[in-house]
Amino acid sequence: MSNTVDYIQSPFNLSRKDKFRLVLNVPDALKRINSRFLEGNNNINLDLLQFAVHGSVIPSIRVPSANARFSGQTFAQTSYSREPYDPLTVNFTVDNRFTNYWVIYTWLNMLNNDKTGLYDQNNYTQGATTYVKTPESDYKAIISIFALDEYNNRIMEFKYIDAFPTTLNGIEYNYRDATELESSFTFEYSQLIVTPLNWATDL
């Protein structure tokens, strides 16, 4: 009897660090703000803004143990609870019109206006309809990071629920360095859902 294993792809085709794509489902209020800046540019889809990302894009997942005392012994068992996720910092390449940088900037500016210090200074959240309507959904979004195979097909989705940015980091200019501009932003989120795509539909 043969003990061979049927592989869909070669076992030597390993995942690479540069095969990730971030897709941001932009909140309705944020689309209203950024539509002015992007007016006339049909190449930008503010419903699903995409980033070429690198760095640490997948967080640790922790369901800790709990000790139970019984009959003079200590037994380890699960706590049945998930620890809060660490904030996630995503490095990205700035596009040639600074669109992706501007969207994150205006998102933070909606949370706290740079001139007045107020939330949603111009009432852009009025009438927002982003997924389940709650006060928080006015400024929260779903962020998906897709792992890609060697043909750039999506093979795994890491979905961050109720995400919103907390930090937009700087951009370093250097006239002696002709490489692409890079920046990063940090976001918080409530849940992480990991879903295999295409290759494991029966799991």
Nearest by Cα to 21 from 49, 51, 47: 51
For the chain, the C-alpha Rg in angstroms (whole number) is 21
- Higher pLDDT residue, 197 or 41? 197
Q: What's the pLDDT at 7? A: 41
Domains and CATH numbers, the chain: 20-59+86-196 (2.30.110)
Lowest mean pLDDT among 17-21, 80-84, 158-162, 183-187: 17-21
- Higher pLDDT residue, 18 or 23? 23
Q: What's the pLDDT at 31? A: 78
- In whole angstroms, how far apart are CA 67 and each of 61, 62, 64, 71, 82? 20, 16, 10, 13, 16
Q: Which two tokens stand for residue 117?
A: 């210090």
Q: Cα separation of 33 and 38, whole Å?
A: 9
Give the chain's mean pLDDT: 79
Instruction: Quickly list H helices, the chain.
Output: 28-37, 99-111
Q: Cα separation of 63 and 83, whole Å?
A: 6
Residue 59 predicted with pLDDT over 80: yes
Q: Cα separation of 102 and 70, whole Å?
A: 58
Q: What's the pLDDT at 10? A: 43
136: confidence class by pLDDT, cuts 50, 70, 90: low
Torsion, CA 116, CA 119, CA 125, CA 129, rounded to 10:
160
Q: What's the pLDDT at 193? A: 94
